[in-house]
C-alpha cells in the first residue's frame, strides 16, 4: 500500500472517531462510525491472501449490521420523542437495541465471535488498531448515553464477556487470538462498572489501551505470532523478554503492577453497590484470564527454543521508533499503581 493511501486511511480513521466523540446528533455519530469501518477495511485486507479477505468481509458485515441497528434505534427514538439528540434516548426499545448494537461493535459477548477471527486474519499492527483505536467511538457513545441505558443489561453483558474472554483464551496457541479474548474480558470489566462509576470505566479504558499497545509493540518487535514464537524472544533481546513478562502479569492484574488498579477499583465499586455476587464472578473470571497470561509468561521467559551458540548474536538489534514507544507505554503499564490515590482525589 502506498504511503499516501495509507495516510488518507489513517486520517479517515482518526476523523471518524473524533466525529462520533464530538457529535450531538445521531446521524453525525453514525457517519463517524461508518467512516471508521470503511477506513479500516482496506488496512485489514492489505495482505492480499484469502485469510485477510475473509477477515475484512467478516469485519464489514458485523460492523455494517451494528451500524444499521444504531440507525434504526435512533430513528425509533426520534419517532417517539421528536428529537435526534444523543442524550435524549428515552424510548426503552431504542436504548436496548442501541446497547446490543454497541456490544456488537465492541465485540462484547455474546456478539464477540467476529473479533478473534478478524484479528487472526490481520497483521499484528492492524490487530493493534482494531483492539485499541476502534474501541474508542463505541465506548464514547456508551459513555454519552449511560444515563438512559439499562444497568442490568450492561452488568449482564459485562459478566458474560469477562467469563467468555477468560474461557475462550484458555486453549489458544495464536497470540492474536489470545489478545482478542483478552480484549473481550477487559471490555467486560469496563461495561460492568460503566453505569455505576463512569469515571472508573474511563480510567480502565485508558490503562487497557496503554497496556495492550505496549504488549502488541513487544509482539511486533519479536515477530511472535504463536506461543511457540515467544520462546525465541530471549535470543532477540533479554530486556524485551523481561518487559513482556511484566506486561503480561500487569494485564493479568497482579497486585504490584498497574493492571491491578482498575480491577481493584471496579471490585470495590461493585461491592459498595451491594453487587457482591457480580464482584465474585468477575474476580473468578480474572483467574481464567490470568491462566493464559501466565502460560505466555512461562513460554516467554522460562523456556528456551532449541538454539546454537550463534543465536546470542541477535541481541544487538537496531532500536527504532517502536522501541521508544514501547519503552514509554511499558513504563506506564508497570509503575502506575502507586498513583492510584492521586487519581481518586
Q: DSSP code of 77?
A: H
pTM, two decimal places: 0.93
What is the per-residue pLDDT across 272-283, written as a single tens digit (0 to 9) for each? 999 999 999 999
Residue 315's pLDDT band (cuts 50, 70, 90): low
**pLDDT, mean of residues 56-66:** 97
SS3 85: strand
Whole-number average pLDDT of the chain: 91
**Radius of gyration of the chain measured on its C-alpha atoms:** 20
**pLDDT, mean of residues 59-88:** 96
Neighbouring C-alpha atoms within 13 Å toward the C-beta of 220: 20
State the Cα–Cα distance between residues 176 and 178, nearest whole angstrom: 5
Percent of the chain with pLDDT over 70: 93
State the Cα–Cα distance between residues 244 and 259, nearest whole angstrom: 14
What is the per-residue pLDDT across 180-199, written as a single tens digit (0 to 9) for each? 999 999 999 999 999 999 99
State the Cα–Cα distance between residues 304 and 231, nearest whole angstrom: 5
Amino acid at each position: 500500500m502506498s504511503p499516501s493511501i495509507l495516510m488518507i486511511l489513517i486520517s479517515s480513521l482518526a476523523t471518524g472517531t473524533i466525529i462520533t466523540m464530538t457529535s450531538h446528533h445521531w446521524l453525525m455519530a453514525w457517519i463517524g462510525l461508518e467512516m471508521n469501518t470503511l477506513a479500516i477495511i482496506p488496512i485489514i485486507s492489505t495482505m492480499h491472501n484469502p485469510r485477510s479477505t475473509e477477515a475484512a468481509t467478516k469485519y464489514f458485515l458485523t460492523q455494517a449490521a451494528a451500524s444499521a441497528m444504531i440507525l434504526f434505534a435512533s430513528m425509533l427514538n426520534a419517532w417517539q420523542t421528536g428529537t435526534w439528540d444523543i442524550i435524549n434516548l428515552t424510548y426503552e426499545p431504542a436504548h436496548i437495541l442501541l446497547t446490543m448494537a454497541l456490544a456488537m461493535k465492541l465485540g462484547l459477548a455474546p456478539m464477540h465471535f467476529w473479533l478473534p477471527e478478524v484479528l487472526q486474519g490481520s497483521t499484528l499492527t492492524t490487530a493493534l488498531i482494531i483492539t485499541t483505536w476502534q474501541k474508542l467511538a463505541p465506548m464514547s457513545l456508551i459513555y454519552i448515553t449511560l444515563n438512559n441505558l439499562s444497568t442490568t443489561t450492561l452488568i449482564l453483558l459485562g459478566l458474560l464477556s469477562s467469563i467468555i474472554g477468560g474461557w475462550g483464551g484458555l486453549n489458544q496457541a495464536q497470540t492474536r487470538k489470545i489478545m482478542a479474548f483478552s480484549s473481550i474480558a477487559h471490555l467486560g470489566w469496563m461495561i460492568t462498572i460503566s453505569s455505576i462509576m463512569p469515571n472508573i470505566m474511563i480510567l480502565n479504558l485508558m490503562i487497557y489501551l496503554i497496556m495492550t499497545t505496549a504488549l502488541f509493540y513487544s509482539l511486533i518487535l519479536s515477530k511472535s505470532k504463536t506461543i511457540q514464537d515467544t520462546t525465541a524472544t530471549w535470543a532477540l533481546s533479554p530486556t524485551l523478554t523481561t518487559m513482556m513478562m511484566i506486561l503480561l502479569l500487569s494485564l493479568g492484574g497482579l497486585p504490584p503492577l498497574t493492571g491491578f488498579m482498575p480491577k481493584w477499583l471496579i471490585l470495590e465499586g461493585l461491592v459498595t453497590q451491594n453487587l457482591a455476587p457480580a464482584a465474585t464472578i468477575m474476580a473468578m473470571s480474572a483467574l481464567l484470564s490470568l491462566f493464559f497470561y501466565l502460560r505466555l509468561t512461562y513460554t516467554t521467559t522460562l523456556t528456551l527454543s532449541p538454539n546454537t551458540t550463534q543465536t546470542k548474536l541477535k541481541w544487538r538489534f537496531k532500536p527504532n521508533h517502536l522501541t521508544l514507544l514501547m519503552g514509554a507505554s511499558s513504563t506506564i503499564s508497570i509503575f502506575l499503581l502507586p498513583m492510584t490515590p492521586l487519581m481518586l482525589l
